[in-house]
Amino acid sequence: MSEEKSVKGPKLADPVKASIDVATQEMIRRSHDLGIETVFDRAENMKPCNIGVQGTCCKNCAMGPCRLPLPKAGIEGEDTRKGLCGATANTIAARNFARMVAAGAAAHSDHGRCVAEVFLSAARKETEAYKIKDEIKLRAVAPHLGVETTVEIDGEIKDREIDEIAVEVAEKAIAEWGKPDGELLYLKRAPEPLYEKWKKNGVLPRNIDREIVEIMHRTHMGVDQDYKNIIKQCTRASLADGWGGSMLATDLQDILFGTPSPISSEANLGVMKKDHVNIIVHGHEPVLSEMIVAVTQKAEIIEYAKSKGAKGIQLSGICCTANEIFQRHGIPHAGTFLQQELAIITGACDAMVVDVQCVFQNLANVAKCFHTKIVTTHPIAKIEQDNVLHVEFDEHYALEDAEKIVKMAIDNFTNRGTDVMIPQHKSASVGGFSVESILYHLGGTFRGSYYTLNDNIINGRIRGIAALAGCNNARTKHNDSHITLCKELIKNDVIVLTTGCNGIACAMEGLLTPESAAVHCGPGLAEVCETVGIPPVLHMGSCVDISRILLAATAVVNAGGLGKDLCDLPAAACAPEWMSEKAISIGQYVVSSGIYTVFGVTLPTSGAPVFHDYLSKDMEKIYGGRWDIEADPIKQAELMIAHIDKKRKELGIDKTRERVLMDMADRQALEM
């Protein structure tokens, strides 16, 4: 057997089966021609562990790992499976799930903390590189953190100095990670019935760090042995992510770097340019990538690139850092999570600059075959291989650090080999749909509400709202579910809000353009998009920006006519190709905020059916939202649309949907 293996060698991925994207297929073929292994090939050769997939392997103590697979015949009668300590399959699966929530919430929230610390430096004027860019947003956010924006002087109400507000906002924000008492201040931004539900169920997060620490404690050997109680803490920690760390990250980033508004760009590997210095930023925290953007736009730096024989500098991005600089500067996406190795295999990537999260260790091995410099920048995220450079990023010297990195990339341009192949595929895209810019486009500054959106949902032109997010997963065909699901939804008049790698996939497919509405949408949504001039798929940013979706949904509730809570809305969410622990934390806070949420691929709960049922049935009775699992993207769309239709019926607007053409009297009757 082993002999046969060594003769045959490892299996290679079939490019057409691995991805729907032609650029990706071309680069997988090239990787095979060059003998370079990528994630697509590794997925062929390493199968996932069957017990891990079920979520029922416990390795939280040294008496294990205790493995509790589901018997092939299923469970008849009492489930007697248990680990050495007696932990049941439900306890084990819930503990594992909880640790995923903890890791995901930690990743988002530590990102938020880093931004908050840079924000404090900027507010205190300890750094030249970062400044308060969006004063309007600072004034809008301040009251949510209990910071006054006006002051009474001699009986007169005056605006407080912006610097004063900034320092206080920074201090209040940082306190959210570790304050000794009280609850997270942003929770009150949720619709009141939702806040009351959290309060009644005892899941209001106290501070961000504490809820994550408590998960680690509760899931230690011999602590919490009631899966319902463990899930309660999952809700609390995940809310500290969505309505805490992530929301703070979004707000503070907007204040520092600008609140996004519609901006056009391009997406896919074809954005790289053969005759330019190609720098790719990859990771998550925009504190670094913002500085790289600034440096690459400096005239003397462009001149320096020209002095080395390049025509200029092409900056592009991968993963969520790409989403950050796309939504604020129109910097193009080079690709999604699964394309990171392929960007180097073009032979044209002069430097890939990474910070934290979703970065493959194998980048270093791929880079060894080319001239590409891999530069790590974050003290908590280094790569062991000797061809990786570490330039530690310090916010106090941010521009200097960024300049050092960019110059290194420029110097590396002359080391480029002759074997360059950039796939000639890219699509136009429009992004930058923050809560504020949607308000402007759909509601108008005059009305200052989401009234137009609600009106179009009530009259049935828009059937409902879908939030799509999440990663790629090498166990499924790259981008296939993202795109099939998205097209099916807009065909059925469901408007899509997207973030993360789903947003990049949609950009690569050309779905982020207003023109795509006429091609892909049902008549109702197409009409709205054409009238307002928006794409049917609104790119709302990175994964921490799912907080924008929470606030947009809250704005819809507040605009009236569609219920009083998020769970009343004709809305549903899906992460069709998820892979990261962050996705599990997001899923848990979205469900706990009242939204029906479908996950693709698989959920590590199948080995514990009772626990799985709790997530997919019982949670709805508590929070109004529930988990669901479905691998087929068409069925995902059907489930989401069925949920949307159910909510329309409950709201009494299902009839108006059948009557798409409304006369003036109908319209007036709907307006409250």
Pairing of strands 150-153, 156-159: antiparallel
Beta bridge partners of 279: 315, 351
DSSP string, 145-177: GT--SEEEETTEEEEPPHHHHHHHHHHHHHHTT
Cβ closest to ligand NFS, residue 443 vs residue 503? 503
Beta bridge partners of 267: 333, 427
Smallest CA-to-CA distance from 138 within 118, 176, 165, 114 is with: 165
Question: Taking CB under 6 A as the rule, does residue 500 contact ligand NFS?
Answer: yes
Cβ closest to ligand NFS, residue 463 vs residue 582? 582
Smallest CA-to-CA distance from 449 within 563, 557, 565 is with: 557
Determine what percent of the chain falls in helix, strand and coil, rounding each to the nearest 5. 50, 10, 35
**Binding mask of the shown chain, residues 351 to 390, with x at each position contacting ligand NFS by CB under 6 A:** -------x--------------------------------
Cβ closest to ligand NFS, residue 100 vs residue 439? 100
Residue from 289, 580, 636, 656 that binds ligand NFS (CB under 6 A)? 580
Cβ closest to ligand NFS, residue 412 vs residue 636? 636
Residues 6 or more apart whose Cβ sits within 8 Å of residue 213:
none
- List binders of ligand NFS among 318-347 (CB under 6 A): 319-320, 337
Question: Taking CB under 6 A as the rule, does residue 525 contact ligand NFS?
Answer: no
Residue from 66, 351, 467, 471 that binds ligand NFS (CB under 6 A)? 471
- List binders of ligand NFS among 264-323 (CB under 6 A): 284, 319-320
Question: How many residues interact with ligand NFS (rule CB under 6 A)?
Answer: 13
Cβ closest to ligand NFS, residue 535 vs residue 541? 541
CB of 309 to ligand NFS, least distance (A): 33
Question: Taking CB under 6 A as the rule, does residue 639 contact ligand NFS?
Answer: no
Question: Taking CB under 6 A as the rule, does residue 589 contact ligand NFS?
Answer: no
Question: Taking CB under 6 A as the rule, does residue 543 contact ligand NFS?
Answer: yes
Report how far residue 161's alpha carbon sits from residue 143's, in angstroms, rounded to the nearest whole number. 15
Q: Measured between alpha carbons, how far is residue 654 from residues 169, 249, 334, 452, 661 in Å?
A: 44, 38, 42, 18, 14
Report how far residue 184's alpha carbon sits from residue 244's, in angstroms, rounded to the nearest whole number. 7
CB of 502 to ligand NFS, least distance (A): 7
CB of 337 to ligand NFS, least distance (A): 4
Cβ closest to ligand NFS, residue 89 vs residue 546? 546
277: helix, coil or strand? Answer: strand
Tokens of 36: 């370079």
Report how far residue 248's alpha carbon sits from residue 335's, in angstroms, rounded to the nearest whole number. 26
CB of 546 to ligand NFS, least distance (A): 9
CA atoms within 13 A on the CB side of 632: 4
CB of 478 to ligand NFS, least distance (A): 12
Cβ closest to ligand NFS, residue 542 vs residue 547? 542
Residue from 81, 113, 197, 582 that binds ligand NFS (CB under 6 A)? 582
CA atoms within 13 A on the CB side of 225: 9
In the complex, the residues that contact ligand NFS under the rule CB under 6 A are: 284, 319-320, 337, 358, 470-471, 500-501, 542-543, 580, 582
